Structure 1
Amino acid sequence: MKSMYSKLLMLAFISSSLYSYAWGLTGHRIIAEIAENHLSGKARREIRKMMGRERLAYWANWPDFIKSDTTGVWKQASAWHYVNIDPQTDFKTFEQKLKMQAGPSLYTQVNTLSSQIKDSKTPEKDRKIALIFLIHIMGDLAQPMHVGRAEDLGGNKINVTYFGEKTNLHSVWDGKLVDSQKYSYTEYSKLLDIRSDDEVKKIQSGTLEDWLYDSHTIANRIYAQTPDGSKLSFDYQYKFNDVMERQLLYGGLRLAKWLNDLF
């Protein structure tokens, strides 16, 4: 990446009305806050050097905010937020399909950004931008519809109503389920982040491919139970609120693991 720090400062506070991209403002901040609570001492020190005193949650939504930029500078980054893949019933086939895909995606970019951060030749300003993107797209990884199907753009073409409001399946999972609970991101992160050390280690085990497959299998379940034209309300919350909360927690804990290993 070219040096883009001035653009970062210029765009960082673009209107938050774009909340419906991925987990919404609240969801991404929950994941970042949980991750921050599980950083190692070394990772915390290195991130502080790069990011300053702001918490991870402060920057967690910036890669969505910049989607309103009209200069085209960030156009290439739109594909970094998701990886679309046809439904697969076993991990081996899923992994093969994942690695066969052409072009940048959430999957490829996690590794690319991580390499840029680790590379001592990367300018510090660009390392910071890479870290901000990594924090965000590792959160996207836990949103099941970001590991959905190309034919409906991860649920964006599946029309539903949510408590009578016309919307789509992707938007329900991006923000509506989370925001229906009426917690702030700090409240929600404290309520969810209560697992034992052994449970945390188990959640953090596995590879990037394992974590993507985890989200993919949940996406398949969501598709099966939310056909086009569904009318969603309290019964849908009853079915999927636990799943949504699991993904927020897992997203935060796995982000922490990735950052700890990275630094």
Structure 2
Amino acid sequence: MKLNFLKKLALGVAILYAPMQTMAWGTNGHRISGQIAEDHLTSKAKAAVRAILGESVAMASNWADFIKSDPKYNYLYNWHFVDFDRKMAYPEMVEFLEHDKSANAYTELKELIADIQKKDVSKENKLLYLRMIIHITEDIHQPMHTAHASDKGGNDFKVNWFSKPTNLHSIWDTELINFQELSYTEYAAAIDKPTKEEIKEWQADPLSKWIFESNQLAEAFYNEIKPGDTLGYQYNFSHLEILNQRLLKGGIRLAGILNGIFG
């Protein structure tokens, strides 16, 4: 009886732990961008989005990670990222993205935005499409979700966060954000101060530029450190502005998408 209980406990831990391995931004990061997005929706878009989701954008932001333990949704796995084998200049990346037909964050986000606006889309699919539009838009603003395929977006790039063994992907998913010790609403309020000009510019940028920005940052992160390095106070100090900018841009651009669809 005791052995069966321990087996069930271990299985439960494994199921909970598995989806965390590839979460982008982690729970708090997604909610920060989601809160910012909702705060920049038009009244019409906000009402339409709420009617579909039945909850806030912030709370819906993590659905795509929470369901990773359900085999029914295995086909969504590659939708969370778009990795590259080498550094590319912007024109080359645009060419690559436009001709790449594999399932990834770029191809699927474009298709989701088109599909959710079709007149015959079912209520069930509309909910799925909206949840994924929210999540993928936030994902691609996490630099390590546009990083190297060879190390699984930094998951195999092992480092330490203070005395804790981790990896470069997790540093950007969770460690830096959690280190600020703010709730997602506090964090969103603290960084949600873009100018009107910035909002207009960021929302006008094509999807390829969002990915290129993240990829350029990821390439810089690889060059700054080496596997086995210990990161801490200095890394936080020198990268906090970048972190905040990616969270903010993700929220502002998500609002632009949703206002375009529903506003």
When the two structures are superposed, what TM-score results if normalisation uses the length of structure 2? 0.89
- Call closer, same or farther: CA 1:16–1:86 in 2, change over 3 Å: closer
The equivalent residue for 1:216 is 215
* Residue aligned with 2:116, SS: helix
Partner of 1:195: 194
| 1:55 and 2:52 are equivalent in the alignment | no
CA contact 1:26–1:178 (8 Å) conserved in 2: yes
Query: For residue 37 of structure 2, what is the aligned residue in structure 1?
Result: 35
**194-203 or 108-117: which moved more?**
194-203
What is the CA-CA distance between 1:17 and the residue it aligns to? Answer: 8.6
Separation of aligned partners in 1, 2:95 and 2:215: 14
Question: What is the RMSD computed on CA atoms of the aligned residues?
Answer: 1.6
1:108 and 1:86 map into 2 onto residues whose CA distance is 17
- 2:250 corresponds to 1:248: no
- Post-superposition, which runs of at least 4 consecutive aligned residues in structure 1 deviate over 3 A? 14-20
Give the aligned partner of residue 258 of structure 1. 257
Q: CA deviation at 1:28?
A: 0.1
For the pair 1:105 / 2:107, whether they are aligned, the reply is no
**Is residue 85–residue 97 contact of structure 1 (8 Å, CA) maintained in 2?**
no
Q: Residues 26-64 of structure 1: CA distance to partner in whole angstroms, max 9, x if unpaired?
A: 000000000001112232232133123x21111110100
Deviations 1:66-115 (A, max 9, x none): 1112xx21111000000011333421011112223342000011012112
User: What's the counterpart of residue 131 of structure 2?
Assistant: 132
Identify, as 1 or 2, the structure richer in helix: 2
Q: Which aligned pairs between 1:91-240 and structure 2 lie closer than 5 A? A: 91-240=90-239
Aligned length: 247
**Residues in 2 aligned to 1:34 and 1:165: alpha-carbon distance in whole angstroms:** 31
Residue identity (%):
36
Cα deviation 1:155-184 (Å, max 9, x = unaligned): 011000001110111011111110100000
Q: What is the distance in 2 between the residues matched to 1:18 and 1:153?
A: 15
- The 3-state SS of whatever aligns with 1:73 is helix
Q: Give the equivalent residue in structure 1 for 2:27.
A: 25
The equivalent residue for 1:4 is none
Instruction: Return the offset for 1:199.
Output: 2.3
Corresponding residue for residue 11 of structure 1? none
Where structure 1 has 5 or more consecutive residues not aligned to the other structure, the ranges are 1-13
Give 1:260 shift: 1.2
Q: Deviation at 1:125?
A: 1.6
